Structure 1
């Protein structure tokens, strides 16, 4: 079905390849050379959540479209989560290049009752490993400070990450 939808966007023949390592099916577009942005956008939407393999010249353009759509979905879901938990109106404003990252991180920690979560030797954009280990078990994962932290930073556009399996000191 997805292969037919992608093909209908004007990309030509689309086959399905199974990847045992990923435990996923991948949509493979055989030969598509002169593809418009509109056709790529159509294919990205038609593929839904399937991975799509294109020629090396098209793949970066496709991935950029997918990343933009997924980022918008993530922000929307994050804002919905914050709204559901009555936190959206208290979300601090973040402006890249203007807002002090450390000060913003402290505001997010306060909002989420997650003191120390973004205090690490690697800066305020990395989750403190010890803090994370204390909050990675249910029920914290669905409604606790970690879920709040990830939703608040996503909704604000403040990218955070984590480095696993290594000591992290404040």
Structure 2
């Protein structure tokens, strides 16, 4: 491909849309689930208020403290409502066999992340929004465990994973009174 100004503009547009659209999709689903489960929303709010006490705003040094219930909600939302239900397609480099299926060389493979998040073999009560399921397990969304791969996995995983999570976490922070300004 020849690099032109037009190509660069389209590439930047694609990166911007990929980074913002998926983040907003995650935020919408998280808010919908919290509205449907007000007791969980209350836990997240109480945790943030307890940590922040009388501080007017969240500082960068506070971020590591505000992780527990908010992180659980983010993981559970990513499991139940992955922003991209079908991950980017890949092409097999050699003949292989996956769970009894022969995959010839140069076969395009698409991973259904939505189905992984609802697999009853992997998840107890897979259709239910239960953030506490992540309390005592090390599964994370960074692509190291294949039970939860909303940002894909391996060296071709999403380069904007930390930006996306930081954007979602930032969205939930309020001042110490619990009131968010409205535009």
Same fold at TM > 0.5: no
TM category (shorter chain) comes to: 0.3 to 0.5
Q: Report the TM-score when normalising by structure 1.
A: 0.34
TM-score norm. by structure 2 comes to 0.32
Larger Rg: 1
